[in-house]
A = this chain, B = another copy of it.
Amino acid sequence: MKIDDLIKETSEWLKGTGPDSDIVISSRIRLARNIGGLHFVDWSDDETKQKVVDVTKRAILASNYMKDALYVEMDKIPVVDRQFLMERHLISREHAIDPEFKTTFVGDKEIISIMVNEEDHLRLQVIESGFLLDEAWHIMEGLEKDLEQRLNFAFSDEWGYLTACPTNAGSGLRASAMVHLPAIVITRQVDGLIHAISKLGLTVRGFFGEGTEATGNFFQISNQVTLGRREEDVIDSLKRVIRQVIAQEKTARAFLKDKRKDIIEDRISRARATLEAAHIITSKEAIGLFSLVRLGIDLGLIKNIDTKKLNELFVFIQPAHLQKLEGKKLSTVERDIKRTELIRNKLKIS
Contacts and interface: CB of A to CB of B under 8 A. Distances in A.
Q: Is the interface of A mostly helix, strand, loop or mixed?
A: helix
A309 to B, nearest CB: 20
Contact of A276 (B263, B273, B337): B273
14 contacts: A262-B279, A262-B333, A262-B337, A266-B278, A266-B279, A266-B280, A269-B278, A269-B279, A270-B274, A270-B277, A273-B274, A273-B276, A274-B274, A274-B277
Contacts of A277: 269-270, 272-274
Contacts of A119: none
A265 interface: yes
Contact of A278 (B270, B279, B281, B337): B270
Interface residues on A, range: 10 to 19
A200 to B, nearest CB: 38
A262 B281 CA distance: 11
A337 B265 CA distance: 11
Interface string A93-126: 0000000000000000000000000000000000
- State the 5 A-B residue pairs at the shortest beta-carbon distance, nearest first: A273-B277, A266-B279, A273-B273, A266-B280, A269-B277
A206 to B, nearest CB: 26
A101 B80 CA distance: 77
A98 to B, nearest CB: 35
Contacts of A279: 262, 265-266, 269
Contacts of A333: 262
A7 B276 CA distance: 35
A256 to B, nearest CB: 13
A22 to B, nearest CB: 22
Interface in A176-206: none
Contacts of A270: 274, 277-278
Nearest to A271: B277
A115 to B, nearest CB: 39
Contacts of A272: 277
A270 B280 CA distance: 10
A273 B276 CA distance: 8
Contact of A262 (B263, B265, B274, B280): B280
Contacts of A273: 273-274, 276-277
Nearest to A265: B279
Contacts of A280: 262-263, 266
A272 B333 CA distance: 22
Interface string A289-332: 00000000000000000000000000000000000000000000
Interface string A152-183: 00000000000000000000000000000000
Nearest to A266: B279
A320 B263 CA distance: 23
Contacts of A337: 262
A348 B272 CA distance: 18
Nearest to A274: B270
Contacts of A265: 279
Nearest to A280: B266
Contacts of A266: 278-281
